[in-house]
Amino acid sequence: MAWFTRSKENIEKRPVEGSVAATTGAAPNREIPDGVWAKCSECKQMLYKKAIEENLYTCPHCGKHFRIGSREYFRILLDNGLEEEIAAELRPADPLEFVDSKPYRVRIAEAERKTHLTEAIRVGLGHLDAQPVAIGVMDFNYVGGSMGSVVGEKFARAIDRAMNDRVPFIMVSSSGGARMQEAAISLMQLAKTSAKLAQFAEAGLPYISVLTDPTTGGVTASYAMLGDINIAEPKALIAFAGPRVVEQTIRKKLPTGFQRSEFVQEHGFIDIIVHRKDLKATIANVLKHLQPEPGLRGVDGLR
């Protein structure tokens, strides 16, 4: 069956956890329904929604990390929120005039209306623990956090600004992979973003990659795994091909926890697993040990 006629919902339409509509203006989340109480999908405990928000959108009982977007991460990580947004005016185009079950232009319009965002990434400048930084955060709720040409261009412009200002760059990834409606143009962003990070390494500036649930496909195959330090939230799905695809390919049942943060760390692909409550302090501590110096090639000369 072709992907555009399949009966199951795709990654874009799956429920996104951790509704924050009341405080951010984002579209309401259907996994945690409107109201005072919500049920954790992991431990099934009934939770007071205010307690979830005060716990930085994690379950106070089992520690499940609900999916959140750029608005929330900017508030969590930056001292005063995003102080300057870069390339906010960029919008996705439709050079291929792509149509599957509906035109790509319609999908983009629906995503903007649903999320009040203009792309699956926002980039800008701010301060983290009083240190100036450049930062990018992906929004999974926008077309599954897929990487198209504008995502790659915003990433590149953020790197250019970070090099110009000589500040570290922090990238928070959440993505279903390359955006198929842009075909090869989307795949070109893997090379583009990787090349930009090579320039960033030559400039001797630190790059911190934060992988959240889910980080998959082309994003995993490019900038998400190229950090001087790769940090993941607990139990985040981190993979190139997702577990369903792998199971169908090898025709075997995968072990419990396959491709989750803990499994990926055990196999050497990420450096640290950090609870969201400790994420800002951990990044600040890492940056203290990564002093940018002209000519330095990444962490301990490894990159």
Read off the pLDDT of each residue in 90-107 and give the average, rounded to a whole number: 95
**Residue 36 pLDDT level (bands cut at 50, 70, 90):** confident
In 206-219, which positions are buried (b, 16+ CB within 10 angstroms) versus exposed (e)? bbbbbbbbbbbbbb
Residue 116 lies in a domain: yes
**Average pLDDT of span 198-214:** 97
In this structure, the answer to whether residues 58 and 161 fall within a common structural domain is no
**Mean per-residue pLDDT for 77-106?**
96
293 pLDDT band, cuts 50/70/90, is low
Residue 95 φ/ψ, nearest 5 degrees: -65, -25
Place of tokens 């995503």: 111
Residues 108, 41: one domain?
no
pLDDT digits (tens, 9 = 90+) for 219-240: 999 999 999 999 999 999 999 9
93 and 229 assigned to the same domain: yes
Q: Which comes out higher in pLDDT, residue 256 or 62?
A: 62
CA end-to-end distance (rounded Å), the chain: 42
Q: Is the dihedral of CA 134, 139, 140, 145 positive or negative?
A: negative
Q: What is the mean pLDDT of the chain?
A: 88
What is the average pLDDT across 246-272? Answer: 94
Q: What is the pLDDT of residue 38?
A: 87
Do 61 and 121 reside in the same domain of the chain?
no
Residue 136, domain CATH: 3.90.226.10
183: left (phi over 0), alpha (psi -120 to 50) or beta: left
Q: Is the pLDDT of residue 66 over 80?
A: yes
Domain contains 2: no
Specify the DSSP class assigned to residue 5: G
Residue with tokens 């999320």: 115
| 118 occurs within a structural domain | yes
CA 265 to chain centre: 18
Q: Report pLDDT for 1.
A: 43
Q: Of 35-49, 64-78, 140-154, where does mean pLDDT reach its minimum?
A: 35-49
Answer for the pair 77, 279: CB distance below 8 angstroms, yes or no. yes
**Which range marks the domain in which residue 59 is found?**
7-11+13-66
Please give the distance of CA 126 from its chain centroid, rounded to a whole number.
18
At 114 the three-state DSSP class reads helix
Residue 205 lies in a domain: yes
Which tens digit of pLDDT belongs to each residue from 176-189? 999 999 999 999 99
pLDDT score at 25: 40
As for how many domains the chain has, the answer is 2
Q: Are residues 248 and 155 in the same domain?
A: yes
